[in-house]
Structures are given as C-alpha cells and as structure tokens.
Amino acid sequence: MLYVLKRLVALALVLLVSSFIVFSGMYLAPGSPEQFLVQGRTVSPEVLDAIRAQYGLDDPFLVRYWNWLIDVLHGDFGRSLLTQQDVSTLIESRLPTTLFLAAYAAILIVLLGVGLGILAATRSGAFEKVVVFGSNLGFAVPTFFAALVLMALFGANLGWFPVSGSGEGFADRVWHLTLPAIALAFPAIAVVARITRTAVREEQGSEHVVMAVARGVPKRIVLGRHTIRNSMLPVTTVIGTNIAGLLASAFVIEYAFTLDGIGSLLVNSVQKKDFAVVQAIALIMVLAFGLINLIVDLLYAVIDPRVRLAREVSA
C-alpha cells in the first residue's frame, strides 16, 4: 500500500514538471497567441494591448504559469482561442471516442498479441511462420498505410465496416471503431506477439519447466502454470509501453477515419496555435502514460513475488 502511495506521489511530481514544460514549451514556439487572435490583420497597438490584458499575456511568465496551474487543478483549462468554448467541455466531448478507440485497440493487443505469440511458440511449423511473417509486416507497415488498406478492403470493397464516424451507442461504436482499432493496434500486436513467442520459447527451456515435465506434471499445467505465467513478466512491460503510446499515436488513425477524438483535436489545435487546448491534451496524455505505467508496475508485483517482497523489505 505504501508503495502505491509513493508511486502516486511520484506521478503527481511528474505531472507537475511536465505541466511546466508543456506550458513554457508553447511560448518557445514561433508566433504568439495575440497574433493568432488578430488573424494577420493590422491592428492598432491599443487593440493589441487590450487583447493582451484580457488574456493576461502581460503578466510575468511565472505568474501566468501559476494562475494557469491553479485553474487546471480546479479542472479549468481555460477557453479555446479558436472557438471560445470551454476547453474542458471541448475535451469532454472528444475524449470518449479516443478512450473507446484506445481501449478497443488495447484489448486487441492483449488478446491477439499474447494469443498469437503463445500459439506460435507452442506449435511450430506453418502457423509459426505465418505469425513471424505477420509480425515483420506489422513492424514495417506504417499505421496510416494499414489504415488505408483496411479502409479500401473492408470498407470500400467489401462494405463490412464503415470508414468514418465513431457511431452512437455501444454496438454501433464497436462496429464503427473496429477498423480504426485494428489499424491502431497492428504494430503493437506485431511487437507483443514476437516478444511473447520469444519469452515462451525461452521459458520452455528453463530448468524449472524441464523439472516440472520430469516430475510428471501434466502438459496443460506445465504450459499454463509454469511456462506461460512466467513468460508474462517481460511481456507485461512491452504491453504496457505499447498501450501507453496508443493515445499519442491515435491522432493518425483519427485523422484517417475522420473520428472526432482528441487526436484530431490536437492536430487542429496545434495548427491553429490554440494554446489552451494543446496544453490540456498534452497533460492528459502524460497522465494516461503515467497511470498505465503504474498499473503495469503493480501487475509486475502481482506476477512476480521477488519484485513484491523486495519492495516490502525496502518500504
């Protein structure tokens, strides 16, 4: 328990530091918000001053950061410079699509990545070669290309799945997001399947597994309790980093499939220099990354008593 608490404090510190980087980073980029607000028109210095005063752009940098941070802690990310909408409301309307897409992709990664990896490791021959080939393909094919191929094949030609929009209600969403989720998960499935295959193979040759076989433990139990369970240690880490990266790589897919998630919102906002929105999305991504890593580390402790007990001693 103490360990979890420590990790949460650490996560809060990471968020604090990244909030500063996110906030200041926006000011390092060329161009300033007031220039965007006047949209290239020539305006009198008085108008410019008024705008600067309205958005608090004349305050010292650290004061602006502090004010922003306090607002963020109260859940107020400010207003979009572009639409004048509340940023929290804007993100709230976009987040479900992205989270649904990422969760869908995560499930595919775990089920297909681990499943195919285990099958490839336990039955050699043609099936293994297919998985290894598919895995190489997954490494090599860029996400947007996979998206295009899926759209052309299953969307346009076969007409099985829609190629745009995110759907209403659960079943419709699943149907709409199937192709995007596959495209998004494809590279990660390839990585996870490959790592799983290697890890299971390695574990099969390990001393305790050979010993279990020599003790006459039934095959099914040797495979499940000893081989697969123990090989999940390295696999968990890989799955975690891949799932954590999903939110960040979702923007390509959201763009390709015209989904109104936070990925496409981020792309738009960066182009339009909509500071408040970009800052909010960046922070959400850091938070998601941190949380997923925390979950992975906790899982690690559940799987491996050596990790758990070492922590108990040090805590």
Partner 1 sequence: MLNVEHLTLAVADPDTGEETEILRGNSFSLRQGEALGLVGESGSGKSMTLKCLLGIEPGGARVGGSIELDGTDLLAARGEQLRRIRANDLALIAQNPHGALNPVLRVERFLVEGMADARGIPKAAAKARAADLLRQVGITDTERVLGSYPHQLSGGMLQRVVIAGAMSGEPKLLLADEPTTALDVTTQAEVVAILDEKRRQHGLSMIFVTHDLDLAAAVCDRLAVMKDGAILEIGTPDDIRDRPKTEYTRALMAARPLLHPAGRAPVPANGTEAHE
Instruction: Tell me the closest approach of the beta carbon of residue 1 to partner 1, in angstroms.
Output: 20
215 interacts with partner 1 by CB under 8 A: yes
Amino acid of residue 22: V
Q: Write out 45-67 in H/E/C secondary structure.
A: HHHHHHHHHHCCCCCCHHHHHHH
Contact region with partner 1 (CB under 8 A), list: 14-22, 61-69, 241-249, 300-308: 300-308
Q: Which is nearer to partner 1, 231 or 293 (CB)?
A: 231
Task: State the Cα–Cα distance between residues 287 and 75, nearest whole angstrom.
Answer: 14
Candidates 2, 28, 158, 214; binder of partner 1 (CB under 8 A) is 214
Least Cβ distance, residue 194 to partner 1 (angstroms):
21
Judge contact between 284 and 5, C-beta under 8 A. Answer: no
> What is the distance between the alpha carbons of residues 277 and 87, in angstroms, rounded to a whole number?
6
State in angstroms the smallest separation of the CB of 82 from partner 1. 53
Whether the Cβ atoms of residue 236 and residue 296 lie closer than 8 Å to each other: yes
Q: Which of 16, 71, 218, 315 binds partner 1 (CB under 8 A)?
A: 218
Q: Tokens 């079943």 — which residue?
A: 171
Amino acid in the structure at residue 77? F
Choose which of 59, 128, 260, 304 interacts with partner 1 (CB under 8 A). Answer: 304
Contact 186, 141 (CB under 8 A): yes
Contact 47, 303 (CB under 8 A): no
Could you give the string, one character per residue 155-194, with x where binding to partner 1 holds by CB under 8 A and - elsewhere? ----------------------------------------
Taking the complex as a whole, how short is the minimal distance between the CB of residue 131 and partner 1, in angstroms?
20
Contact call for residue 207 and partner 1 (CB under 8 A):
yes
Secondary structure class of 145 (helix, strand, coil):
helix
Smallest gap from Cβ 136 to partner 1, in A, equals 22
Site residues, partner 1 (CB under 8 A): 206-208, 210-219, 221, 225-226, 229-230, 303-306, 309
